């Protein structure tokens, strides 16, 4: 989802080129105005500019409303271009029977935590409720959602990484976020929805959706089973190439960990999530998810990640000491759970095998078979 939106965010060159070309035209033509005696009145020009601008904005708004690329408005002529992991996971959890006893909350980094394997290991029914770009506020919201259904698990397994508590992290970015009512966020504003009808982001998304409808949609990156487990679709590229291309992007390059302090808002959400879990009698096991070893080396060399990780771990340990966390594991390095560099789909998404190894550590040694 993050990558899809960021791809959308960067595909704006045609708009900008058109804008710059119009600016050049207006500027150069106006250079010659001084020599020309205007035949028309200023009102003539004002009326036409206003009319063009108003008509343009109405057209754009109508296009965005009808195409509805982000699934924010009533029309459903086309399937929205964005992924809806929150809605899908909520639906799957509501339908899950028997009620799960162990739930993995988290982000896409924990998509491959297999509920089937957890059941094999523990004998308890499990569910993977990890969400695209999941952050602590999503954990709190999803726990409240589970409570509202009367389907609380006994154990929650949650990843907590520095990336999830960075200050500039966009949160709640699934535009049609059904978890929103479970947070104390401001209610959805009609004015804000109207405003978003006239944004470049939405217009680009509309055009991309229409193009996708005409020439075919790209295959999804992953699909979810009924227990919430995600299957990543193999891109065909080598892991090294994928890691290189990630590190070359704006989102994942050295700028990712350049900040000095963890985001206080998300840290508070996490504490509140832990306190609610304690009050509801749900045990929480926290782990710091792994990064590809090349990424770890790069970030440790180029960024503030080591200090930030220490900051995060110190806080988590304090909560563990305070009884809010039942178990804490730092899996940043693959050696910590017996994994290796090949067990990644990309820079930050471990494979199912790596996830199995982490679950082995979390739930203790596998019982010897008789």
Partner 1 sequence: MLFPSHLFLFGFLPVVVAVYWVLAPRARRWWLLAASAVFYGWADWRFLLLLGGMTALSFLATTHLMGRESLAARRLGLALALGNLVILGVFKYYDLFATTLDALATRNGLEPMASVLHLALPLGISFYTFNLLSYSLDVYRQRAAPASSLPDLLRYASFFPTVTSGPLMRWSDFSAQMETDGRPEAARIEQGVFSFSLGLGKKLVIADWIAQVIDPLWANPAALGVWGAWLAVVGYHFRLYFDFSGYCDMAVGLGHFLGIQVPANFRAPYTARTITEFWHRWHITLSTWFRDYLFFPLTRFLLRRAGDRYTAWTRPLSLVLTMSLTGFWHGPSWTYLVWGTYQGVLLAIHAQTRSRRRPWPAWVGRSFTTLALLLGWGLFRSGSMSMAGSLYASMFGLRGWGPAPTSILGVDAGFLLLLAGLFILTNLPRDVPDLRPRREWGYAVALGAFLVIALLCVGQPSPFLYFQF
Binding interface with partner 1 (CB under 8 A): 10, 13-20, 22-34, 36, 38-46, 48-53, 55-57, 60, 195, 198-200, 203, 248-250, 253-255, 258, 302
Nearest residue (CB) to partner 1, 50 versus 310: 50
Q: CB neighbours of 290 closer than 8 A, spacing ≥ 6?
A: 331, 332, 333, 334, 336, 337, 339, 344, 350, 354, 358
Nearest residue (CB) to partner 1, 69 versus 290: 69
Least distance in Å: CB of 316 to partner 1? 28
Least distance in Å: CB of 54 to partner 1? 8
Nearest residue (CB) to partner 1, 36 versus 74: 36
Nearest residue (CB) to partner 1, 240 versus 251: 251
β-bridge pairing 283-288 and 126-130: unpaired
Least distance in Å: CB of 107 to partner 1? 23
d(CA 107, CA 161): 10
Q: Give Cα separations from 185 to 100, 141, 181, 234, 287 (angstroms).
A: 28, 11, 8, 37, 27
Nearest residue (CB) to partner 1, 51 versus 149: 51
Reading the block at residue 154, the tokens are 């006994």
**3-class DSSP string for 63-112:** HHHHHCCCCCCCCCCCCCCCCCHHHHHHHHHHHCCCCCCEEEEECHHHCC
Least distance in Å: CB of 60 to partner 1? 7
Least distance in Å: CB of 21 to partner 1? 8
Nearest residue (CB) to partner 1, 297 versus 318: 297
Q: Give Cα separations from 239 to 98, 231, 344, 350 (angstroms).
A: 38, 17, 8, 12
Looking up tokens 């509501």, which residue turns up? 94
Nearest residue (CB) to partner 1, 254 versus 328: 254
Least distance in Å: CB of 130 to partner 1? 28
Least distance in Å: CB of 318 to partner 1? 26
Helix (H) or strand (E) holding 323: none
């Amino acid at each position: 989802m993050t990558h899809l939106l960021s791809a959308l965010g960067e595909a704006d060159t045609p708009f900008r080129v058109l804008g710059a070309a119009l600016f050049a035209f207006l500027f150069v033509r106006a250079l010659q105005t001084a020599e020309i005696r205007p035949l028309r009145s200023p009102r003539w020009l004002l009326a036409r500019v206003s009319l063009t601008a108003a008509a343009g904005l109405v057209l754009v708004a109508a296009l965005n409303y009808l195409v509805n690329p982000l699934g924010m408005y009533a029309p459903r002529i086309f399937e929205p271009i964005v992924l809806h992991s929150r809605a899908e996971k909520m639906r799957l959890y509501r339908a899950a029977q028997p009620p799960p006893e162990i739930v993995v909350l988290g982000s896409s980094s924990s998509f491959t935590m297999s509920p089937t394997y957890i059941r094999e290991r523990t004998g308890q029914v499990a569910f993977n409720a990890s969400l695209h770009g999941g952050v602590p506020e999503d954990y709190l919201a999803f726990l409240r959602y589970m409570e509202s259904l009367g389907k609380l698990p006994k154990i929650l397994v949650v990843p907590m990484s520095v990336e999830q508590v960075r200050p500039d992290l966009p949160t709640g970015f699934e535009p049609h976020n059904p978890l929103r009512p479970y947070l104390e966020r401001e209610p959805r504003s009609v004015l804000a929805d109207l405003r978003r009808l006239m944004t470049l982001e939405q217009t680009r998304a509309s055009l991309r959706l229409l193009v996708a409808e005409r020439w075919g949609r790209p295959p999804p990156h992953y699909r979810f089973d009924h227990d919430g487990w995600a299957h990543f679709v193999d891109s065909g590229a080598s892991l090294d190439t994928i890691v290189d291309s990630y590190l070359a992007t704006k989102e994942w390059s050295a700028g990712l960990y350049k900040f000095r302090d963890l985001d206080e808002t998300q840290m508070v959400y996490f504490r509140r999530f832990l306190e609610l879990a304690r009050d509801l009698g749900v045990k929480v096991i926290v782990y710091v998810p792994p990064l590809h070893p090349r990424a770890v080396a790069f970030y440790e060399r180029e960024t503030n990640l080591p200090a930030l990780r220490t900051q995060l771990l110190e806080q988590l340990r304090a909560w563990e000491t305070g009884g809010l966390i039942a178990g804490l594991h730092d899996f940043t390095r693959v050696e910590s759970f017996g994994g290796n560099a090949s067990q990644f789909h990309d820079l930050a998404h471990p494979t199912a095998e790596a996830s199995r190894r982490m679950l082995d550590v979390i739930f203790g040694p596998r019982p010897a078979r008789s």
